[in-house]
Amino acid sequence: MRNAVLGFALVVSLVIAVAWLETPPSPAQAQAPYAAAPSGSLISHSTNTALGMQQVVLIDPQTRVMGVYHVDGTTGKISLKSVRNLHWDLLLEAHNSTNPSPSEIKASLGRP
């Protein structure tokens, strides 16, 4: 358990250190509706899995890359599970969506 806490503390410390080193966003960045975080800042999300692991997701909005880590609750071991560049994913109009599709909705509204 001690190692799990230390592993989690390490990941959280890394995220906090990166965020702390960044400068605050300019007024233009703060007003942009799509700006999730200042340029260069990491976005993190953590949750516990059913298998007793802690899952930590880190997203770099500047490079549009996300990484998923598992932290073992017993040993504290941190394992990189996956990394993905989201650029091309976010250019898709639809994927695994149900009807009506975005193109069908657009057509029903009479938009080109």
Q: Could you tell me the residue ranges of all domains in the chain?
A: 2-85
Other residues' Cβ atoms within 10 Å of the Cβ of residue 4: 19
CA dihedral 90, 93, 98, 100 (to 10 degrees): 150
Q: Collapsing DSSP states into helix, strand and coil, what is residue 37?
A: coil
Which of 1-5, 16-20, 100-104 has the least mean pLDDT? 16-20
Average pLDDT over residues 26-32: 42
Note the residue count of the chain. Answer: 112
pLDDT digits (tens, 9 = 90+) for 31-75: 434 344 555 689 999 999 988 899 999 999 999 999 999 999 999
Which residue type occupies 2?
R
* Distance of alpha carbon 71 from alpha carbon 5, whole angstroms: 9
Question: Residue 6 pLDDT more than 90?
Answer: no
How are strands ordered across the β-sheet holding 43-48? 43-48, 53-60, 65-72, 78-85
